Amino acid sequence: MGNSLVARKILITGAAGEIGSVLRKGFAGRFDLLRLTDIKPMGGARPGEEVCEANILDQGAMITVMKDIDCVVHLAGIPRENSWEQILPMNVIGCTNVFEAARAAGVKRVVFASSNHAIGFYHRDEPIDTNVMVRPDCRYGVSKAYGEAIGRLYADKHGLSVSCLRIGSFRLKPEDERQLMTWISHQDTVHLFERCIVYPDYHFVIVYGVSNNDQNLWSNSKVNWLGYRPKDNAEDYVAEIIEKGEAEDPVAKAFHGGSFCSAEFDGDLERIE
Ligand SMILES: NC(=O)c1ccc[n+]([C@@H]2O[C@H](COP(=O)([O-])OP(=O)(O)OC[C@H]3O[C@@H](n4cnc5c(N)ncnc54)[C@H](O)[C@@H]3O)[C@@H](O)[C@H]2O)c1
């Protein structure tokens, strides 16, 4: 374990957001330092925290806030489908700034919030694992595939330890039929990020952010060593979802990415192998 890491000082980008707020609460008292950054207000610092407004579009600011940090958790950006005008600066340039700042500041590890939409165009009759090629289902998904690629580059070329979390549907509880497959609960999310932060030594890893759902289609068997053992199961909410009775359209129903695949779809369903 030549590059063994003891992660004590953690920085979160996008800390004011939905996942960031849950991590903040879940990580309270867990690390020597939690440095929280966002462009939105985050409230006052609690014990063990530092709060700094910082924009991921400003690489200088990113290098400054990463001083003395062991591990960056990169959440900031556009969290769903949007125009190229929005996606490119935030999720491509901003993401590049974060990896480059981590390298420049001597950070050892980046935990990157990727998305299941990086692989959304796999057919649902095909369960997949962490070795599959990216297969994005929207512009947002392409930007996450980019984040995984730059993560791989910075691991191989610069020796950064990188994990990419292909997060499913982060919600309090599953809200529709598809989320019976893709849901990740709050407590499982905290546990997943924690494992990726504290695991002593890895070079580059992709892991699915999904709960222990009966209908899960994404296998983490190749990254079992990380110790991610999700507890919650979307099936506990199946009755509520059946009651809603919302059916997916044929394109959405065919693929892992659901409505992200059918939005703007003018392709040929028959030709998608
Ligand atoms: N929520 C999900 O189900 C889900 C699923 C897959 C992936 N993800 C990914 O996880 C990450 C967090 O998602 P979320 O649901 O918490 O999103 P969110 O929108 O609630 O949080 C994102 C945060 O990033 C901040 N931000 C935006 N632009 C910024 C900038 N230029 N500089 C600094 N901060 C900026 C926002 O102010 C916001 O607080 C995103 O990268 C998203 O793509 C989320």
Tens of pLDDT, residues 16-46? 999 999 999 999 999 999 999 999 999 999 9
Q: Which protein residues touch ligand 1 with a CB less than 6 Å away? A: 13-14, 16-20, 38-40, 55-57, 75-77, 79, 90, 94, 113, 115, 167, 169-170
Nearest CA, atom 38, ligand 1 = 17
Nearest CA, atom 35, ligand 1 = 76
Asked if residue 2 has pLDDT above 60, the reply is no
Ligand 1 atom showing the smallest separation from residue 80 Cα: 43
Contact present, 9 and 70 (Cβ < 8 Å) = yes
Nearest CA, atom 5, ligand 1 = 167
Asked if residue 1 has pLDDT above 90, the reply is no
Mean pLDDT calculated for residue range 52-58: 98
Determine the residue of 22, 62, 75 to mutate for testing ligand 1's pocket, defined as the one with the most ligand atoms within 8 A of the Cβ atom.
75
Q: What is the pLDDT of residues 244-259, one digit of tens each?
A: 888 889 999 999 999 9
Q: What is the pLDDT of residue 3?
A: 64
266: number of Cβ within 10 Å = 4
Q: What is the mean pLDDT of the chain?
A: 97
- For residue 255, give the DSSP letter: B
Q: What is the pLDDT of residues 212-240, one digit of tens each?
A: 999 999 999 999 999 999 999 999 999 99
Q: What is the pLDDT of residues 126-170, one digit of tens each?
A: 999 999 999 999 999 999 999 999 999 999 999 999 999 999 999
Ligand 1 atom showing the smallest separation from residue 74 Cα: 41
CA 7 to chain centre: 19
CA distance 45 to 43: 7
4: number of Cβ within 10 Å = 9
Q: What is the pLDDT of residue 80?
A: 98
Q: What is the pLDDT of residue 247?
A: 85
Q: What is the pLDDT of residue 4?
A: 81
For strand 71-74 and strand 49-53, is the pairing parallel, antiparallel, or unpaired?
unpaired
Annotated catalytic residues are 140
Nearest CA, atom 41, ligand 1 = 75
CATH topology of domain 9-271: Rossmann fold (3.40.50)
